[in-house]
Amino acid sequence: MKKSFFSFALAFVATISGTTAFAQCDCGATQSSVMVAGNPVVESSGCGGCAPQTTTKTIMVPQQVMETQMVTVTKMQQETRTREVTVMKSVPRQETRTRTVTKSVPRQVTKTQTYTEMVAQQETQDYTVQVPVTTQVAQEYTVNVPRTESIEVPYTVQVPVTTQVEVPYTVCVPYTETATRTFTVNVPYTEMVEQSYTVCVPYTETKTQEYSVNVPYTEEVEQSYQVSVPYTETMTGTKTVCQRVPVTQYRTVSKDMGSYQCVTEEVQASSCGGGCNSGCGCSQTVSKRVWVPNVVCEQVPYTTYTTEQVEQPYTYEVTKTRNETRTRMVPVQKCRTETRTRSYEVTKTRQETRTRQVPVQRCRQEQRTQEYQVTKTRSEERTRTENRTSYTTEQRKRTQQVCKMVAETRTRMVPQTTMTTETRQRTVTKMVPVQKTREYTVTECDQVQEEVSYTVTVVDQVPETKTETYTVCVPVQVEKEVQVCKTIMVPQTVEVPVSSGCGQAVGSGCSGGCGQAVSTGCGC
């Protein structure tokens, strides 16, 4: 935008200052033509008595000026504030509780089981078998026997024959000729053409504008919020407690109340004076201790424990919360709309039509001639010798072996199989189910309940008041310097000729000699 404005300003200054053109007078002096307010004014130098008079004129020239202005700006500034907030704090504490645990006590139990077992049993069984019997049987068959014979077969052969033949042919022989051709050439030249163009001349206007501004302000608003307040409540419940009760029972125990007793036995002596075979009847008496058993059964008492479930009351505390509604003042940012007025300058442009001489490139057509070489060909008849091959048909004979098949009848022995039925015996094993009984030991578990204590961490909610710091954006009015680009009209003094110096007014025409306008074309 600034670049286009400067170009408009330069065009405006050029318009005010004028356009100068030079021409050569007959007296050897130089004349200059100046455009003043759209009218040509001729200045000459070197002509005796033709010096023009000038006058001083003040014109207004636009100029760009940077100006500093103070503008009120609303700036958001951060401000730190404090407020009290109620926070629920978790306080842990250790609590010992009891719980009933069921344990499994294993014991060995002997049980009897009836099962079925498959026993193998041998049995004789008759079955029928098809037995093959093979016999030799005579069979007649026909065979094709090959026989070879020699025969004569006629055939035709193509025999080649070569001859020399004179063949004419045509050859193209090249030669060169000189030819002339005419062509058209575009010759460029420059021509000055008068062209009209439009110039935008800038000018400045001051306007007033109304605009709306949102001015922020802070307002305290009452706000309701919910708070959970904890409290403790004592409750009563019952729990099942397992107690161990002693029970006296009896069982039968077998004891061996036997003792050692002395027993006298008569045994044969190992040797005597004349040997045992002498018939003297040697024997001896031996005493020995023998254990005599005496099994006695008696009832022996023993104590077992039985588990009984008993309902037992107990109390416990439960932490509950109730909702309470509270109010607090909360700052709320709001805005009000204000209408303000400001002045600003608008730069506008007006269009002016001007003329100028513009060089234009054009072309004229000219005819020219040129000599060039052309290659042509002429036809010539020539002859050459070629070999031509022709074929002659001849009949010939050749001997060929031919194989023919002759049928013969022959006899051969072929084995023939027939099936004969026979009865045989075989031993078959069958599985017969048999009921049997067996004893096995099973481990069974008795469920025993037991009281076990354990530690639990209980968290109590305790309200606590804390001071919280928070940041609020507060609007602040600030004066700020702003650089504004402004266009002002500056007076400028220029010299303008007012007469020709030859007794004629500027631009009055041509009365001979100097002092004539260049545009009249009368002698200058």
For residue 8, is pLDDT > 60?
no
Where does residue 435 rank: exposed (0-12), middle (13-18), buried (19+ CB within 10 A)? exposed
Q: Where is pLDDT greater, at 287 or 328?
A: 328
CA distances from 297 to 248, 251, 257, 259, 292 (A): 19, 10, 10, 17, 17
How many alpha carbons fall within 13 Å on the CB side of residue 305?
A: 11
Strand order in the sheet with 30-36: 20-24, 30-36, 39-45
Could you give the CA distance from residue 514 to residue 25 in angstroms, rounded to a whole number? 7
Provide the CB-side half-sphere exposure for 495 (13 A, CA): 6
Judge whether 204 and 406 are in contact, CB under 8 Å: no
pLDDT band at 281 (very low <50, low <70, confident <90, very high): low
- Does the pLDDT at position 123 exceed 60? yes
Is pLDDT at 236 greater than 60 in this prediction?
Answer: yes
Q: Which residue in 389, 493, 51, 450 sits closest to 241, CA to CA?
A: 450
pLDDT digits (tens, 9 = 90+) for 64-90: 888 888 888 888 888 888 888 888 888
Residue 9 has pLDDT above 60, yes or no: no
Q: Does residue 363 register a pLDDT over 50?
A: yes
Q: What is the pLDDT of residue 362?
A: 85
Indicate the burial class of 504 (C-beta count within 10 angstroms; 0-12, 13-18, 19 or more): middle
Do residues 495 and 126 touch, judged by C-beta distance below 8 A?
Answer: no
Q: Which of 265-274, 420-429, 488-497 has the lowest mean pLDDT?
A: 265-274
Query: How far apart are alpha carbons 312 and 314 in whole angstroms?
Result: 7
Contact 51, 44 (CB under 8 A): yes
Residue 422, pLDDT > 70, answer yes
Q: For the chain, give the percent of residues with pLDDT over 90.
A: 0
pLDDT recorded at residue 105: 82
Q: What is the DSSP letter of 275?
A: -
8-26 mean pLDDT: 43
Tokens representing 2 are 């600034």
Three-class DSSP category at 15: helix
List phi, psi (to 5°) of 276: -75, -20
pTM, entire model: 0.20
3-state helix, strand, coil in the chain (%, to 5): 5, 85, 10
User: Mean pLDDT over residues 477-489, rounded?
Assistant: 83
Report the mean per-residue pLDDT for the chain: 77
What is the pLDDT confidence band of residue 513, given thresholds at 50, 70 and 90?
Answer: very low
Query: Using CA atoms, how far apart are residues 348 and 486, in angstroms rounded to an integer?
Result: 13
Q: Which residues contact 62 (CB under 8 A, 6 or more apart)?
A: 9, 12, 202, 203, 204, 487, 488, 489, 490
